[in-house]
Amino acid sequence: MMDWAHTRVVVTGGAGFLGRVVCEKLAKRGCRHIGVPRRHEFDLTTEVGVRTMYDRFEPDVVLHLAAEVGGIGANREHPGRFFYANAAMGLHLIEEARIRGLCKFVQVGTVCAYPKFTPVPFQEKDLWNGYPEETNAPYGIAKKALFVMLDAYRKEYGMASSVVVPVNLYGPGDNFDPRSSHVIPALIRKCVEAIDTQQRQMVCWGTGSASREFLYVDDAAEGILRAAEELEDPVPVNLGTGQEITIRNLIELIAELTGFRGEVVWDDTKPDGQPRRCLDTSLAGELLDWQANVGFREGLKHTIDWYHNSTRLSKAA
């Protein structure tokens, strides 16, 4: 087990949606030295920015959560930036970790790394059996390249690391910006705004036939810390619930929970993305003694309540 009380930790992306929960859980585990690099101070896509960050925080362990990422629209608009930023961040962070002899490097990957037509449920052994879904391939491949880098560094330099591959996350504090949000916050916002403006219709991308799996942010944070505590080798480990839902059924559920009673219109000129996503999480149970605990309906209620409260506070301000 990691002695968190005497470990200096850097959480890249620690001020973000997932990172804040990871930092909270670290503090509850007794960690007293948690460094959270902010973008305006450290450009982690550059060698200079990464070295400056390491000099400032002097970590023993790095939990690399930071990413430039978004939904299908953002991936289509910024494929070059998403590849460069995510590859460059990981490249410099891992190399500097090697140079400084860190105790451990934890890489948070993405389900977008899986091939487009991976057999369901996705097993870690299938990560390399094909090309990812085209709209998010640059992002997914950039992240997957870091898995290879960590494996190579383990073999050549003995550098300890671990890799987790979470499905799409959701929960309180998620990104609800329509320009870059993922499907759950985007749909919650659409439903709430349709109700507020008394719209009778809501337009959604694609056909609704694609399926997705979603993991509550607290469960993901726990899985990341379990990987930091238990693993020394960068064997990719899925984090998910093992349950999938079609986008059409997801919208019906969110409409029910938000109170939207209008018509959903499907814009099939827009892409569905990967046809299906659902993970086999048996390896996480075996290696990490981890499983998701928050039910999907319960998690959605928490997320919707948080969004309602945050919008009320912003209007009051």
User: Is there a domain that residue 230 lies in?
Assistant: yes
Whether the per-residue pLDDT at 317 is higher than 80: the answer is no
Total domains in the chain come to 1
- Give the CATH number for residue 160: 3.40.50.720
Q: What is the mean pLDDT of residues 37-60?
A: 97
Task: Say which residue the tokens 């349950």 belong to.
Answer: 243
Write out pLDDT tens, residues 83-100.
Answer: 999 999 999 999 999 999
* 3-state SS assignment for residue 219: helix
Structural domain contains residue 255 = no
Token look-up 């896509």 returns: 45
Residue 208 is predicted with a pLDDT of 92
Give the active site residue among 84, 114, 131, 139: 139
Dist. CA 121–CA 256, nearest whole Å: 28
Long-range contacts of 189-193 (CB under 8 A, 24+ apart): 189/307, 191/254, 191/255, 191/258, 191/259, 191/260, 192/258, 192/260, 192/304, 192/307, 192/308, 192/311
Q: Does 139 qualify as catalytic in the annotation? A: yes
Residues facing residue 238 across a β-bridge:
165
Between 180 and 108, the more confident residue is 108
Mean pLDDT over the full length of the chain? 94
Q: Give 110's contacts (C-beta < 8 A, 6+ positions apart).
A: 67, 69, 139, 140, 143, 165, 166
Q: Let me know if residue 267 belongs to a domain.
A: no
Lowest-confidence region among 55-69, 208-222, 237-251, 267-281: 267-281
Evaluate whether residue 74 is within a structural domain: yes
Domain containing 71: what range? 4-171+213-244+275-296
Assigned domain for 79 exists: yes
